[in-house]
Structure 1
Amino acid sequence: MTLRLGRHEFADDATLMMAIVNRTPDSFYDKGATWAEDRAFERVALVVEQGAEIVDIGGIKAAPGVEIDAAEEKSRVVDFVARVREAFPQLVISVDTWRAEVGRAVCAAGADVLNDAWGGADPELVDAAAEGGAAIICTHTGGVTPRTRPYRIDYDDVVAAAIHDTVAYAERAIAAGVSPESVVIDPAHDFGKNTFHSLEVTRRLGEMVATGYPVLVSLSNKDFVGETLDLPVGERLTGTLAATAVCALAGARIYRVHEVVETRQTVDMVNTIAGRRPPRRAIRGLQ
């Protein structure tokens, strides 16, 4: 099935890099490096040059913190989306939000994707995507409240729960009018999960791929990587890429990342080993 992200289409074997652009002063990873609008725009230009097909713009950090209402969230992202849309017409613009009010505003400004990291906390977000002709990312969070950390969440089978909830969310989006070609599912590593859950989801990601929906993974510098290797945020690239390789072998389609070049090389190498992609150059022993 062709993957349709707003006004953009991709073949069913395309793997896509979604570069993170935080319009927040308190991101866990970049500590506000792209809080200023011009710095965020420079980040967009850089990741486009590096080959990212998608940027994911967020106006609220996922972790607990200062309360940000919808008006403030819109002030951080709506005009910025319009600026990016004008400058990069071929770029897929995603906005990381769970609020339908924000979703409608960013779609009107030119967003192609609504990336709901909180598993349908606002049931009207699917309507916002349908009305705006946008794609939607359907995540599994175990029902946790937005911007809260999981505490002793238990699953009989975390992968079965992730499949059940994301497929149900996808079906609800389609019923609301989102094109079936514009629905993506995401197990949401760390969200509503402890480290053991995230590791199991990674190990069994092929079961989510088998649903037939394109799968997005957001692995970059996550806590499950840090806890597995006992490393702080700034030292998790190698672990992130190892998890990325496992997900690539399982067939993940979209990778939400901080490091575009390293992730692209990892995904391309794995897919070439798997026989899904030819080498860019193959002359050794042939000439």
Structure 2
Amino acid sequence: MTDRVVMAIVNRTPDSFYDRGATFAEESAMRRVHEVVAEGADIVDIGGVPAGPGAEVDVAAEIERTASFVAAVRSAYPDLVISVDTYRHEVARAVCAAGADLINDPWGGVDERLPEVAAEFDVGIVCAHAGPMAPRTRPYRVAYDDVVLDVLKHTVGLAERAVAAGVDPARVVIDPAHDFGKNTWHSLEVTRRLGELVATGWPVLVSLSNKDFVGETLAAPVDDRVAGTLAATSICAWLGARVYRVHQTRQTRQVLDMVSAIAGDRPPRRAVRALA
């Protein structure tokens, strides 16, 4: 049986591209945690810095936004898997000390000390591909001879480096990082060829939710990308991705359960038609 895991996004930022600060306040963020857990989230991913350009968020500010909130979520949900989206080892150390289980590095190893923190606290790490991009920058005329081969080389290299640093191999995940260092054609190709990443044996995470490649493909604004996101999700699920970082928890859970049932990995929740 293949487990397909939902990672729900909770942004502690005032300027996120999708929710525009809806969960910046701690009370709002905790309400969101309660909501996504009730909707079937297996992991909650907490972020203190938006992915795109914007106001500077220094290390101290990022820690202030994330560490105490991680501790509050851990207190409320002792068994929940808590991930923190950060590319800084100082932040990773603070949130792991507060109870995080997973370091979700969105910028592909720009801070080489992240694996040592993961090893120190015996937590997991997500190894992503951001191409040549520096953190919080947008791709400009980026090109690859073969984008999937570049993704494979980089993510597998980071995964092997993490294991060499002492991270438990069972806690390492790779992420092609749709949109990060990629144009829409690149992200579509990565989706189409996701099976090549799955074939490495490392669990694959995909972060598709309301991304620009969905918007450009459908000419859809950011608030009208759910259908396209779920279509891409179903393809990635069929090809073997394991973890899905999302805004729409309930809809994603339904898509993944449907794909799992079609694949024969789980039975229907209720099956009475034509049986009586």
Give the alignment's TM-score, normalised by structure 1. Answer: 0.95
Deviation at 1:267, TM superposition (A): 1.1
- Taking the aligned partners of 1:274 and 1:240, their CA distance within structure 2 comes to 20
Unaligned 5+ residue runs, structure 2? none
Indicate the residue corresponding to 1:158 in structure 2.
147
Q: Is the 8 A contact 1:189 1:219 kept in 2?
A: yes
Q: Is 2:50 aligned against 1:61?
A: yes
SS at match of 1:185: strand
Q: Give the alignment partner of residue 173 of structure 1, picking from 148, 154, 162.
A: 162
CA deviations 1:182-205 (Å, max 9, x no partner) are 000000000000000000000010
Q: Is 2:237 aligned against 1:264?
A: no
Unaligned 5+ residue runs, structure 1? 1-11
Q: Is 2:114 aligned against 1:125?
A: yes
Indicate the residue corresponding to 2:216 in structure 1.
227
Indicate the residue corresponding to 1:215 in structure 2.
204
CA deviations 1:25-64 (Å, max 9, x no partner) are 0011011001101100110011111110100000000000
Indicate the residue corresponding to 2:63 in structure 1.
74
SS at match of 1:189: coil
Indicate the residue corresponding to 1:100 in structure 2.
89
- Taking the aligned partners of 2:132 and 2:182, their CA distance within structure 1 comes to 11
> Where do residues 104-115 of structure 1 align in structure 2 (5 Å cutoff)?
104-115=93-104
Indicate the residue corresponding to 1:6 in structure 2.
none
Q: Give the alignment partner of residue 14 of structure 2, picking from 17, 25, 31.
A: 25
- Taking the aligned partners of 1:263 and 1:257, their CA distance within structure 2 comes to 7
* Aligned length, in residue pairs: 276
What one-letter code is carried by the residue in structure 2 that aligns with 1:199? L
Deviation at 1:276, TM superposition (A): 2.0
Deviation at 1:143, TM superposition (A): 2.7
SS at match of 2:52: coil
What one-letter code is carried by the residue in structure 2 that aligns with 1:170? A
What one-letter code is carried by the residue in structure 2 that aligns with 1:68? V
Q: Is the 8 A contact 1:119 1:143 kept in 2?
A: no
- Taking the aligned partners of 1:212 and 1:107, their CA distance within structure 2 comes to 26
What one-letter code is carried by the residue in structure 2 that aligns with 1:213? W
Deviation at 1:270, TM superposition (A): 1.3
Q: Is 2:10 aligned against 1:13?
A: no
CA deviations 1:106-129 (Å, max 9, x no partner) are 000000000000000100001111
- Taking the aligned partners of 1:177 and 1:66, their CA distance within structure 2 comes to 35
- Taking the aligned partners of 1:187 and 1:245, their CA distance within structure 2 comes to 16
SS at match of 1:17: strand
Q: Is 2:66 aligned against 1:88?
A: no
Indicate the residue corresponding to 1:3 in structure 2.
none
Give the alignment's TM-score, normalised by structure 2. Answer: 0.99
Q: Is the 8 A contact 1:185 1:213 kept in 2?
A: yes
